[in-house]
A = this chain, B = another copy of it.
Amino acid sequence: MDNQLATTLFESLSSSIRLDVFRLLVKNAPSGLVAGEIATSLALPATNLSFHLKAMTNAGLINVTQEGRYQRYRANLSVMQALVDYLTAECCTAHPESCCDN
């Protein structure tokens, strides 16, 4: 996890639409959801959702697999775990006594 990837992931989580999408996919792990189910669930126009799904996929935050005419999206949980580890390191490395245990 380098700074540039972290920045990209934060950017990916910095829109409420994308955060909602990610949370929905976490809730529906590990089976994931197809694009139409996400759109219905979050009441989003297909084009707008597609725009955000593409951004999140490019960032590596979610994965997509084709299922016939459907696209199934899944949260990339290991990337999220790596981000948590990165943040913990950012937060605690220098001065553990002033952060981790409060």
Contacts and interface: CB of A to CB of B under 8 A. Distances in A.
Interface of A: 3-4, 6-7, 10-11, 13-16, 19-20, 22-23, 26-30, 77-78, 80-81, 83-84, 87-88, 90-91, 93-95, 98-100, 102
Contacts of A20: 3
* Interface majority SS (helix, strand, loop, mixed), chain A: helix
A7 B77 CA distance: 18
A98 B30 CA distance: 7
Number of copies: 2
Nearest to A30: B98
A51 to B, nearest CB: 17
Nearest to A25: B94
